[in-house]
Amino acid sequence: MKKDIKQQKAEDLRKELSAAPTVILSGFEGMTVIQDYALRRKLAEAGAKYKVVKNSVIERAAQGTAAEAVAAKLHGTTSLAYTAADPVALAKAITAYAKENAVLVFKAGVVEGRVINLADLNALATLPSREALFSKILFLINSPAQRVASAMSAVGRNLAYVVQQGVEQKKFKDAPEV
């Protein structure tokens, strides 16, 4: 590959990596075309991109990005998966695929500027999805308001119940029959 083509590929990748705070580097030694296609499809469903790139191009492209800390001194076959969207979805897709196919090996990763190891990746994959977290937060925010509304309506309901019982038991003078 000519030097100017390598530089252009590195520059294109740098633009994509600078917009992606989550990058996962993995090895794929011995992966078949069918397995690669399945991984690419799974990652695309998670909103991530997946590329197989030479280590020297990754090192050049990662300079000045969040992935710079993990891109140095790579060896062997390396692929990278990255996303600007939900890092949990990417982690879930990668770990689920790696459990089914042992040929995919985690090398390193960066999530929101923080270098992660395999244990961190597995912990990230066990988190609920972004939508589930938002729904839990909204429930917690809405819960006090629901309790106040319930308590306020209970006062009127209980008063009406006491008055109705008093009328039924004829506790009031000159009360009309119900």
**Can you point out the beta strands (E) in 28-104?**
49-52, 79-83
Q: From CA 81, how far away is CA 51, in angstroms rounded? A: 7
Residue 80 has a CB neighbour count (10 Å cut-off) of 28
Domain chopping of the chain, boundaries: 3-127, 137-178
Q: From CA 38, how far away is CA 56, in angstroms rounded? A: 26
Q: What is the pLDDT of residue 176?
A: 61
Q: From CA 159, how far away is CA 35, in angstroms rounded? A: 68
Fold of the 3-127 domain: Alpha-Beta Plaits (3.30.70)
Q: From CA 139, how far away is CA 133, in angstroms rounded? A: 10
Mean pLDDT of 3-20: 83
Contact yes or no for 27/72 (Cβ under 8 A): no
Q: Give the SS3 label for residue 49.
A: strand
Kindly report the length of the chain: 178
pLDDT at 127 over 70: yes
177/68: higher pLDDT: 68
Q: At what angle do helices 118-125 and 87-100 cross, to 10 degrees?
A: 110
pLDDT digits (tens, 9 = 90+) for 31-53: 889 988 999 999 899 889 999 88
